[in-house]
Chains A and B, each alone.
Chain A
Amino acid sequence: MKANPVKLLQSAARQVFGALFAAFLASAFVAAPAAGETLRVYVPSDPASIDPAFWGTSVDGYLMFNVLPRLATPAPGNEWNLELDVAESVDLSDPTKIHFTLKKGLQWANGYGELTAEDVKYSYERHLDESVGSYIASEFDALDHVEVTGTHSGIIHLKYPAVPMWQSTLGWFGGTIISKKEALENGGKLPVQPKATMGAYTFAEFSPGERMVLKADPNWHGPKPYFDEIVLIPIADANAAEVAFAAGELDFLTSTATGPAQLRDQHGDNAKVDVLTSVDYTWLGLNAQHPSLADKRVRKAIQMAVDVDTILAATFEDMGVERATGFAAPGMVGYRPASKVKHDIGAAQALIQEAGAEGNTIELGYANFGSRSTQAQIIQANLAAIGLNVELNAMDEATFWDVTAVKTPDRQLTLKGWYGNPEAMYGLQYFTEAEFEGWNWEGFDDPRYTELMNAAWEVADDKKRGDMYIEMQDIMEDSGSFLFVDNAPAVVMYKSDIVPGLLPDGKPMFYAFKKK
């Protein structure tokens, strides 16, 4: 008997739709897996590379701090402190020689052997090797070589005194130590998911675009972390991450799209929201080398005309963010308690008239993301009030940071932010004449500033060095080339039964997370 094709089709369709409907019903009532001792964390992207020579995203930083060691590492808490990590002792008394001794018996995960001074030597010196092509080679400019004096001891020889390097590089991402054996197996670089880890956690699973799972490493030399498993979930849109948090699918958000007051309203007692101050900085740069801004009176007038408080209120609403005073955030060595620039439209107008700049047109360039556009529009309106026309030039990030396309002499006003570091010298060192073709977009050059900077490299006393940084930032501001805006706040949200372990800027140290 010949089969009826229509009936066969109908029958097949019924079976397919029946099966799908059944699957839908069944799946809709599957209970969500219990969280147990797992911490589910929202991160804005996948990690790119946790090789300290090639790291590039905030997630890379979180991972480096949690799965790889340093001689000393930042301690969780409200203040910036370094605590010894794999070093048993470090002697910083000689400004060009750092003596270190490693703790004995520390093992790399997955059978990569014991951590030795050879690993430290390899990890640091590779940044100077041009064939490696380290992205952070310039952070190691002061390094001459590392001398291995024993299996667990060595001396870091510097070409010139560079006291800030201990905090800015060796105690930060750049100072991350990797297994020489694993790097050599991979052609001198770490794979995205290295096997030779040494931290509270080690890699268990990585599914790009979906999740990265860390498992507590039983061999870690520190106390056993509370959470056995950390699941990092990359979500490109922070709003979606907030919805997922509300749905109970995340425990900790490393950043948020919504303001803290609104988040507290939405989540009530189920969530805690903390606002921390990052070490990053945003400022308006005024290029003294450009004809339209060469007159210091014009630059000073712009400084006085821009209403930073309004910018902060419009950008950060209820977060209580205070204006930045320089490249040192609150709590850092060299923090200036207050800016000397006062918002004064009348005085600004008088200066513009004195300089004969009324009616001039100036370009304001910025990378168009987040609230930058709002900030730029406020500046435009403020400067219109003193008779300056501002043309906004919004660019995507890649275009804005393209130093090969636009040279410093062609830049005018730039509104920008840099990733900072707990050591202010990290950013301050770029404002010299040598950087006119690079990152000194303000065309700033001051002999006293350069003198202080060169001297500060040798000063071990934090108070003395801090005073020098304060004077350097005074000079920057007084030049009229810098208007410091904010140290971007870091808003984190987590379930109310969690006690997070965070650095002062909100970076998570997962080993310090606990549950109430």
Chain B
Amino acid sequence: MLRFCARRIAIGFVIVVLAIATIYVLVQAAPGDPIALMLGPRATPEMIAALEARLGLDQPLPVQVLKFLIGVFQGDLGVDIKTKRLVVDEVLEQLPYTLYLIFASLLLAAGLGIPLGCFSALHRNSLVDRLVGILSVSVIAVPPLIIAIYGMILFAVHLRWLPAIGLGDRGDLLDQIHHLILPAIAVGIGWVGYLARLVRAAMLEVLNEDYILNARAFGLPERWIIFRYALRIAVAPTITVLGIGVGYMLGSAVFAEIVFARPGIGKMMYDAVSVRNYPVTMGVVLASTILLVASTTLSDIINAMIDPRIREAQE
């Protein structure tokens, strides 16, 4: 198992380095000049050249990429060209807010999606199963942005049950949870439906396996069969999907942070890309790449722990 984990982490590391180098080149290759935006119409050619030199943008691209990678390993992501603050400080300041949001969305997705899928499978073709099926497809189909806007209008404007914007009071956990509910629903509700469909299909397949029929023949309690044997196997693809889902949720977090006026790396990325703030863009991309690779690696490891066949196949 240790060798399996080490191999997955090593692959993850290589992916991060390759992804970062590729994205650095893409970001630099995009048309648009941050210097012109920063200095505005009053910039002289000398001012432009001086700022380019200060930011290292006058050097060949391979040198810039190498310097950036060396900087990453030294914990130096450069300086925000607008605020003049260290990018690493800014990213570490904002990252937790995005992680809270993704964690809350994952909790919602898994906490509702898995039991609903399980329930549907155990009550196949019942009215509840059909209802869950319709609702699942509906929430998958509706864009998260629509859910966010209408959620705000309903719960914040008309009913005034939930706040529309912000993080909530510092030091008041209850208030912060209160502020997290709408954004988490906007980001995670589609995944509830997706996971419900996935778990239902996986459970139906597993429940027809010979070893489940055997267990039933031996008279094991139904609850024991479902939780101990069936769900454990059926949930494996769900864990893989959730690992990848973190990446999609990062994408959704961008709009959720914008609409709900929450800090986070999604909003940071949006602001940085629009003004070609290269150091911040790369800092956020690095953080999100690491997050995505970490979540997929973790889901692989959890799957290997749950299902020895995966571990054996890799080894």
Contacts and interface: CB of A to CB of B under 8 A. Distances in A.
Contact of A399 (B32, B45, B54, B97): B32
Given A49-B82, A209-B94, A403 B160 contact: no
B149 interface: yes
A139 interface: yes
A404 B52 CA distance: 12
Interface in A399-457: 399, 401-405, 418-419, 430, 437-439
Contacts of B40: 56, 135, 419
Interface in A222-243: 233-237, 239-241, 243
Chain A interface size range: 35 or more
A130 interface: yes
A188 to B, nearest CB: 11
B279 interface: no
Residue from A138, A189, A210, A419 whose CB has the most chain B CB atoms within 10 Å: A210
Given A208-B263, A233-B166, A243 B275 contact: no
B249 interface: no
Interface string A62-106: 000000000000000000000000000000000000000000000
Contacts of B84: 49, 54, 189, 192
Contacts of A240: 149, 152, 164-165, 258-261
Contact of B37 (A24, A249, A397): A397
A318 B192 CA distance: 43
Contact of B164 (A33, A130, A247): A247
A209 B165 contact: no
B223 interface: yes
A247 B261 CA distance: 14
A24 B178 CA distance: 7
A1 interface: no
Contacts of B181: 24, 27-28
A24 B33 CA distance: 47
Nearest to B271: A45
B63 interface: no
A233 B267 CA distance: 14
A6 interface: yes
B51 interface: yes
Given A236-B267, A236-B270, A240-B259, A398 B276 contact: yes
B258 to A, nearest CB: 4
Interface string B147-188: 001001100110011111111010000110110010000000
B50 interface: yes
B300 interface: no
Contacts of B31: 395, 398-399, 402, 405
A209 B33 contact: no
B274 A398 contact: yes
A247 B37 contact: no
Given A398-B32, A398-B275, A244 B164 contact: yes
B175 A30 contact: yes
Contact of A133 (B47, B97, B160, B260): B47
A240 B84 CA distance: 29
Given A24-B181, A236-B271, A244-B165, A437 B32 contact: no
Contacts of A241: 261
B178 A135 contact: no
Contact of A243 (B45, B82, B153, B270): B153
A48 B166 contact: no
A461 interface: no
A3 interface: no
Interface in B265-294: 267-268, 270-271, 274-276
Contacts of B178: 27-28, 30
B130 interface: no
B3 interface: no
**Which of B44, B84, B263 neighbours the largest number of chain A CB atoms within 10 Å of its CB?**
B84
A246 interface: yes
Given A48-B82, A403-B33, A9 B162 contact: no
B211 interface: no
Contact of B33 (A10, A139, A398): A398
Interface string A236-274: 110111011011111000000000000000000000000
A372 to B, nearest CB: 15
B93 interface: yes
A26 B163 contact: no
A24 B177 contact: yes
B166 A247 contact: no
A11 interface: no
B257 to A, nearest CB: 7
Contact of B50 (A30, A133, A192, A396): A133
Nearest to B179: A27
B51 A17 contact: no
A172 to B, nearest CB: 13
A17 B114 CA distance: 14
Contact of A6 (B54, B82, B156, B228): B228
A332 interface: no
B76 interface: no
A390 to B, nearest CB: 21
Contact of A237 (B41, B227, B258, B262): B258
Contacts of B169: 33
B48 interface: yes
B33 A135 contact: no
Contacts of B134: none
A210 B258 CA distance: 11
Given A395-B31, A402-B33, A138 B166 contact: no
Contact of B97 (A135, A209, A233): A209
Nearest to A4: B224
Nearest to B111: A17
A84 to B, nearest CB: 27
A139 B42 contact: yes
Contact of A249 (B82, B166, B175, B262): B166
B33 A192 contact: no
B152 A247 contact: yes
- For B40, B224, B270, the residue with the greatest tally of chain A CB atoms inside 10 Å of its CB is B40
B19 interface: no
Nearest to B227: A6
Contacts of A54: 84
10 contacts: A240-B260, A243-B149, A243-B157, A247-B156, A249-B163, A249-B164, A397-B32, A397-B37, A398-B34, A404-B36
Nearest 4 interchain pairs by C-beta: A209-B263, A398-B32, A27-B178, A402-B33
Given A6-B224, A28-B162, A192-B84, 20 more contacts: A28-B178, A29-B161, A33-B169, A138-B43, A138-B44, A139-B42, A209-B268, A210-B263, A235-B165, A237-B258, A244-B156, A247-B156, A398-B33, A398-B34, A398-B36, A401-B33, A404-B48, A418-B41, A438-B44, A439-B41
